[in-house]
Structure formats: C-alpha cells, structure tokens
Structure 1
C-alpha cells in the first residue's frame, strides 16, 4: 500500500484533499505553501483506491518536473522503479517502456502530447492527472489537448490542477476551468493561511529620473507626440493624449487585415504604428532600465532594415538622443535605480551576512549591468539565472539555483525564468528592479521569498512613469482574481 512518509498535512491541505477526492479541482494557493503535498495526497489515495491504475503529473519545464520527481521519491513509499521522469530528451522507445512499468509518471505536457499523438501511450488506466502551473491552460497550450484526451479515454478520470495565480479576469479563469474540466475551486489566500506562512514586509520606493535622463526622454517623447498626430491623416479619431501601446498594437493588426484589399493607407498605417511602437519602447527602456539598455536598442535600430527604423534614425531629435546616450554612458551616468539597488543590498548584507537576495529584471542587458555593478562590492557575490533562449540549458539553470541555495553567491539576478515554480527556499529578500502589469508574474515573483523565514519585498518604481501604472494595474488584477475565485468557490461551476 502506497503511503506518504513524514509529512503531516495542514488543515487547508486536508480540506482541499477532501474536495479533490470527489471532484475535478483547481487548487489556488500562494507559492511555497504546499501545493505539491496535495498532489501527493491525491496520488496516493487514487492509486490505492484503484488498484493497477497509474497517475500522471505534468509540469511545464524539465527543472519543475525534476523537482516533483525528487519530492515524490523522497516523501512517498513509491518504489524507485515505479516512478519515472519523462521528457523529450528520453528516446521514444525508452519512454514506451517506462510508461508500461511506472505507477507514477512525471512529464512535460509536450512529451505526453507527442506520445499520445503517435499512439504510444494510453490514458485508459490513468486514475489521476495532476496539472501543475495550471494558469498556462489557455489557447492551444498542451494542457488543453491533454485534458480533453484524458477525459475521453480514462475509465476513471480525476483531475487536480495547481496554481498560485490563474488570472485577473473571470473570463480567463472560466477558460482555464473549462479547458481543464474543473468542477470545484479551492482557493486560500495568504490571509486565510497566515498561521502557516512567514511574514513578508512589502514596500515600494519611488525614484526620480535625473535631469540628464529626462532630457533624453523629452527628446524621444516629443517625436512620439508629433508622430501620433499623423494618425489623423489615416482617419484615426481617438484623442492623441490618451492613445496607448495597446491601441497602437490593435491599430496595426487592423491595418494588416486591410493589406489584402490593396488599401494604400494600410501600408502607411503599418509603418507609422511600427515607428510609434519603437519610439515608445525606447522611452520605456530609458524610464525603467537605463542608458545601457537604451544604447543597445539604438544599435539594433541601426541594424534594422525596415522603413520604420530608417525613418526614426533620420529624425533630428532621435539623433540628438542617441548622441546624448553615448556621452552619458562614457561619463559613467547610470539609472538611479542601480545605485539604490546596490545600497539596499549592501545594507541587507551588512545587517545579516547570511541573507539571500533575488533581484527580478525583465531584460538580459539590464541583468548583465546589474551583476557587473553589484559585484564591484566586496560583500556581494551576484550570479544570473536566465532562460534557454538567452543561453542557459535547463540543467545549467538548476545548477545555478543549487549554487545560490547552497554556495557562496548571495544575490541571484533573474529574468522571468526565476518567477515560476523553481523552488528557491533560502531567499530572504526579493527586489523588483522593474514592474510588470501582469498579476500572475507579480504573484510568482513574490512567492520566491520568505518560504522558510520572514522576508522583504521591495519594488523599485521610476516616478511619474508607466511603472507606477503597471504596479497598480497588477495589484488591481490580483484583487479581482481573488474576489472572483472566492465567488466562484461558493457556487457550482454550472452556475457561472
């Protein structure tokens, strides 16, 4: 008989377990509060109840799958020969053999989808499908296909979906629940389970741009405002003062649809909106990242062969902005966020030499600049965690995390790859170098800290810029998500 070894479930985990035994359930819990325990509890229950059946646990990345594999192996009595970790790196013939002998299969959804499509695996005897990071179950992501096939083929289907953040709108939550055949929602907020979690001290610092950076931004914004007026020439009537990035993207899509009709204004419209989006992006980089990221953008623009890029580089104010960017970098000028970031980290490490700090940033260039700047300090040992597209394999990513957890590095600077799922238990402080309007990413970022001991979260926000808006947009979406989920939990899904 399969059993869980040493873990004693918490009260909310028992409550979720009781629901998930009877209904396909999505469990929404703060990061680091034991969603995997619920996966283990239900797996043990289903495999014991339905003899000869199997369980499949799917998670979006190989590092996450490896974490689950270790957790199940260490915390249940499953024989090591009856649990398998399947990824695309394992040859198909070997995967087929592992499917046959394994009671518990942990895999990426893409791997299972491929094997289902080729007919080398059957879901007939699978009594439980656990879906990790369930907020990904939108559109054509593999979770949707996998769930549909599972419901159709399994003789005794049961689904447990796990996430910290399904989304900030009822429409998105409804889509996820529909795609995963969810029948019940179980949500617990940090307030609901505060007796079990460490305290987080959250604060945000508003940082003013220096006059030198404001001068460059003024040049960029003057071009942006001037070019916005040209939209009137092609019939766009929305007031210039309230046009935003979302409007421009939507407008560009509309123009592309008109290309087939040989509409002359469509070509001009596409080029104009592309120009506006690039100029707005330059302004955003300056406001939120700094001069090095802006310089890289200017360099890429010079390599860009599009008409929009050529037009931008021919504008006098842009040429002046490029020259000023170069001069300021040569004079050692940096975005004030960098100096404040260094001061915060120096103070934290002075007060507690064992502190482990995570810094989140959206751009690879910024991460390299942060690490170089921080490592000028004797007490700081900063390393970076980036995604596969930027140069680290999944194996290397796990090695970086392990080094941060167990080794001498005390600062981990990471892109979005460090936000989702990876277990980083030692972090005592998280600093958001830049903001995101995504409630999911904000929740994921905050979940990396204060897992074992109390922690701090600090937002660095450039004053009077879009970053302030991003912060409040994400907070509003987060509040809407929690309110919506609580309401949905109180009803049956058939009423939605």
Structure 2
C-alpha cells in the first residue's frame, strides 16, 4: 500500500484531487500553493488502484525534474530505488532497463519523446501521465506528442496537467486542453476562499532610474541611424509611422521580404539587409537603456565578427563607430549603468538585515547575467550565475552543474542567484526573501513565474528596476495588464463552472 509521509494535504488540494481521479484535469494554482502535492496524491492513488502500473512525470528542465524526484522520495513511501530521473546523459540501454524496473519515472519531455521514437519505452503500463508547466504544451512540443501516444496505448490512461500561468486568453487555455486531452479544469486564484489564507504577502516595489547623460549621448547616435534606416525602409514601401515601429513589425516585414526573394524580387535582398540592420539597432538601444555598457560593448564586438551585410552597413556608419568608441571610453572610466549601482545597494541592505538572505536576480541576457555577477563579486557579495546549457553562440552550464548550484544556494553557500530565464519556472527555494527584476519582461507568463520564486512559505519582496522613458516601462505595463487579463479569465472560468453546477 503506497501512501504519503512527512506532509499533510490542505483541504483545497484534497477537493481538487477528487476531480483529478475521474478525468484528465488541468490544475491551475498560484505559484507556491502545492501543485506538486496534488501530483503525489494522485500518483499514490493510481498505484494503489492499479498495483502493477507506473507513473510518468515530465518537467521542462532537469533541475525542475530533480525537484519532482526529491518530492517523491521524501514525501511518499515508494522506494528511493523505484523513483528515477532519466536524462540524455544516461545510456539508452541503461534507460531501457530503468523503465522496466522503476515505478515512478521523472524526465524532461524531450528524453521521453526520443525514447518513444526509438522504441525504448512503452506507455501501456503507465496509469498516470503528469505534465508540469503545462502551458508549454503547444502543438509541436514534446508534451503533446507524448500525450497522444499515451492516450492511445495506456491500459489505464489519466492525465494531470499543472501550471500557475496557463495563458493570457481563452484560446491559449483551450489549446493546452486540446493538446493534453483535458476534460476538466480546476482553477484557484489567490482571492478564492479556500486558498487565500495560505497565500503569502508580496511587497512589490518599482524603482525608476534616470539614464545618465553619457548614455543619452550614445543613444542619440544610435537613434540617428535608426531614423535614417527607417527613412530608407519607407522608400521600399513600408508606411507605418517611425515612432510606432517595433521589433515585431520588423520581423514580420523581414519574413515578407524572404518570401519575395523566392519570386526573384531584387528589392527584397535590400529589404532583408535593411530590416536586419534595424533589428540590430533596436537591440543596441535596448541594451543601452535597460542592460548596461558591458552587454552593449559585447554586442559591438560580435558585430565585428559577423559577416552579414547588415553588420557591415552598420559598422561602416560613422555614428555607430562613434557610439562603439564612446561605450569603450565610458567602460575605461568604470562608468556603470544606474541599475547596477541600485542593485548593489538593494543586495547590501538585504544582507545587512539578514546575513543569510537569499535573493534571486533575473536578467534577460546571459551577457547581463555575467556582468552582474562580476560586479557583485567585485563588491564582496557571495553570488553565482544560473544559466541554461551552452549553445553555438554562448557558454552555459551542464544540467548537473545547474542542480549543484541550486543545491548550494538552498544550503546557504551564497546569497544571490543571478539567473537567466532558466530559473523562472518551478525552481523552489522556499527561503528566497526577494526577487529582483533587472528588467521587466513583456510576457505575463514570465512575470508570474519570476514573481513566484518568492513568498512561498513566508512574505517576500519583489523589486522591479526600471529605466525611465525606456522600453522597460512599456514591458512592465504590457505584462501587468496581460497578467490582470489572465486572472480575470481564470476567475470567469470558475464562475462559469459554478453556474453550470
């Protein structure tokens, strides 16, 4: 007989469990309110109902998968040797053996998808398929393929999908439901009666910073080239007002030019170089305003190594050359972006209040992560970077290293974890006192996930660093309104469900 240990379910978790026992269910709960425990409860129920069956749990990253494995080992009486984490680093032959001899299998969707494609695994004996971070279940994502094969082959199929942020509109939620064969949705928002007493307070602070004059001078140079290239774009038929043009417009226009090349339209070649140059200029301004001089300087260096026509055009422009030289000059003078100075001040104050404070700083770009870590270490702050795996362009961390860093952070070896997007989803460090957004993000999903890394078992602090009159402000309000809209959609879902009952 399998059962839970060391943990007591809350009433709302038990209520949700009853629905999950009967139907494929999408469970939407605020971050830190115990989605994983519902997975454990349902897994134990299914194993007792079908004694020779197995459980499959997938999560998008190895660190998150590791957390699920630890939850099963710590909080159920399923033998430790019967719960396994499967990764691509384990040989295919050994993985096949583990499939056959384990009760609970935790993995990334990509690992399971690969093993299904190579006939290393059959899903017929699995009585539960649990999908964490289910909002990622888009049409071509591995979750979706696994769900289809699972429903077709399992003797006793049941799917549990978990997320804190299913999407900003009903269509996105419906897409997840369709892809994962969901028959019922269980939603709780932080104002619901049965959950609100468990929700910890989040103190949200916005710190607005002026872009220094030296930075403004570089921005003027880049902006002048931006306007010049937009005028050139108008000559080939682009009519949108200059002040309204954004990256999305440029990417869509670039796609149009690519299609025109197939029709042997000579202007299209010029159009592609032009839009590429504008996308790069747009990125330069974003780095300068929102990230800092170091990432901008790194980008200028990358441009010099690139062999594209767009890069050559930009580097040939005297204003871009001047901007690059001014950037280097400010770096030589040790001038820092005001966000870095303010970040250091916040971190020092938090550590002064409690030398064991745990703080997570989120930044969009790896260059910025490296820059923040370097600056904090120079100022005697114990910190570590946390980024994804290496790719062709950037160095990274192996999955084993990611898990080691999270464990060291939990154990208090250092105070500050400086992370790219990889730590946004599901990483559970319950004692995290503060989350700092080095820059706001335009996505409501990423905003919710970042904010959810604090206030899990005690009140927490969320701080947004915002450069005034920059895209930081636009991104902040974009994700804020999208999150508000998502919460209203979830609330309406609940109200509609209650009406039907």
TM-score range, shorter chain: over 0.9
85-94 or 309-318: bigger deviation: 85-94
150-159 or 282-291: bigger deviation: 150-159
Deviation at 1:312, TM superposition (A): 0.7
> Structure 1: how far apart are the matches of 2:54 and 2:413?
42
> Structure 2: how far apart are the matches of 1:230 and 1:171?
38
Unaligned runs of 5+ residues in structure 2 are: none
Partner SS, residue 432 of structure 2: coil
2:448 corresponds to: 443
- Inter-CA distance 486–184: structure 2 relative to 1 (3 Å threshold): farther
Per-residue Cα deviation, 1:421-446 (whole angstroms, up to 9, x for no partner)? 22222210111111210111111111
The 5 Å alignment of 1:395-414 reads: 395-414=400-419
> Structure 2: how far apart are the matches of 1:129 and 1:202?
36
Q: Is the 8 A contact 2:273 2:309 kept in 1?
A: yes
Deviation at 1:489, TM superposition (A): 4.1
1:319 corresponds to: 321
> Structure 2: how far apart are the matches of 1:407 and 1:238?
52
Does residue 52 (structure 1) correspond to residue 57 (structure 2)? The answer is no
Does residue 344 (structure 1) correspond to residue 346 (structure 2)? The answer is yes
1:387 corresponds to: 388
Does residue 114 (structure 1) correspond to residue 114 (structure 2)? The answer is yes
38-47 or 407-416: bigger deviation: 407-416
> Structure 2: how far apart are the matches of 1:252 and 1:171?
27
246-255 or 132-141: bigger deviation: 132-141
Q: Is the 8 A contact 2:356 2:412 kept in 1?
A: no
Per-residue Cα deviation, 1:349-381 (whole angstroms, up to 9, x for no partner)? 222222111111112222222122222334x21
Does residue 417 (structure 1) correspond to residue 422 (structure 2)? The answer is yes
2:95 corresponds to: 95
- Inter-CA distance 376–121: structure 2 relative to 1 (3 Å threshold): closer
395-404 or 99-108: bigger deviation: 99-108
Deviation at 1:255, TM superposition (A): 0.6
2:284 to 277, 282, 285: 282
Per-residue Cα deviation, 1:464-495 (whole angstroms, up to 9, x for no partner)? 01110101111111122222233334557xx9
1:309 corresponds to: 311
Per-residue Cα deviation, 1:164-189 (whole angstroms, up to 9, x for no partner)? 11221222222111111111112222
2:459 corresponds to: 454
Does residue 245 (structure 1) correspond to residue 247 (structure 2)? The answer is yes
Per-residue Cα deviation, 1:103-152 (whole angstroms, up to 9, x for no partner)? 22222222222222222322222211100111111131110100011111
- Inter-CA distance 82–245: structure 2 relative to 1 (3 Å threshold): same
Paired residues in the alignment total 492
Unaligned runs of 5+ residues in structure 1 are: none
2:490 to 485, 488, 494: 485
> Structure 1: how far apart are the matches of 2:205 and 2:117?
49
> Structure 2: how far apart are the matches of 1:487 and 1:153?
35
Q: Is the 8 A contact 1:184 1:489 kept in 2?
A: no
> Structure 2: how far apart are the matches of 1:97 and 1:4?
27
Q: Is the 8 A contact 2:6 2:74 kept in 1?
A: no
1:430 corresponds to: 435
Deviation at 1:51, TM superposition (A): 3.0
1:145 corresponds to: 145
2:336 corresponds to: 334
> Structure 1: how far apart are the matches of 2:271 and 2:433?
49
427-436 or 237-246: bigger deviation: 237-246
> Structure 2: how far apart are the matches of 1:70 and 1:484?
34
Partner SS, residue 420 of structure 1: coil
Deviation at 1:210, TM superposition (A): 0.7
CA RMSD of aligned residues (A): 1.6
> Structure 2: how far apart are the matches of 1:489 and 1:129?
25
Q: Is the 8 A contact 1:24 1:159 kept in 2?
A: yes
TM-score, normalised to structure 1, is 0.96
TM-score, normalised to structure 2, is 0.95
Deviation at 1:343, TM superposition (A): 1.1
Partner SS, residue 56 of structure 1: strand
- Inter-CA distance 110–191: structure 2 relative to 1 (3 Å threshold): same
Q: Is the 8 A contact 1:29 1:35 kept in 2?
A: yes
Deviation at 1:100, TM superposition (A): 2.1
Deviation at 1:278, TM superposition (A): 0.5
- Inter-CA distance 6–408: structure 2 relative to 1 (3 Å threshold): closer
Deviation at 1:191, TM superposition (A): 2.8
> Structure 2: how far apart are the matches of 1:354 and 1:146?
42
1:170 corresponds to: 170
Per-residue Cα deviation, 1:271-316 (whole angstroms, up to 9, x for no partner)? 1100111111101100001111111111111111111111111212
> Structure 1: how far apart are the matches of 2:200 and 2:81?
37
> Structure 2: how far apart are the matches of 1:464 and 1:345?
25
> Structure 1: how far apart are the matches of 2:30 and 2:371?
31
